[in-house]
Amino acid sequence: MAIPAALITGTIAYFIFGIIMLAVVFSMRSTGKLSPDDAAIGNVVVIIATVSMWLFWFCAWLHQWHPLISPIYEG
């Protein structure tokens, strides 16, 4: 069974989003806008938020991919 293309595309999109946000935290740390402790917390927050958003998207995508209840059309 092959992995659907939409799943791969969405996963790559969330991975790129996470990398961009980590780069933002790193750039703020390197310019001095964040202290090292704040940057460490920012890294953790970005990683947890990205994984949580991906997991929510994945669950919603799976729910729509194989619905448990299919509509009954009358007409």
Rounded distance, CA 4 to CA 17, Å?
Answer: 20
pLDDT of residue 74: 81
pLDDT of residue 1: 75
Does the pTM exceed 0.85?
A: no
Q: For the segment 28-67, what is each residue's pLDDT rounded down to a tens digit?
A: 999 999 999 999 999 999 999 999 999 999 999 988 887 7
CA 7 to chain centre: 12
Per-residue H/E/C for the chain: CCCCHHHHHHHHHHHHHHHHHHHHHHHHHHHCCCCHHHHHHHHHHHHHHHHHHHHHHHHHHHHHHCCCCCCCCCC
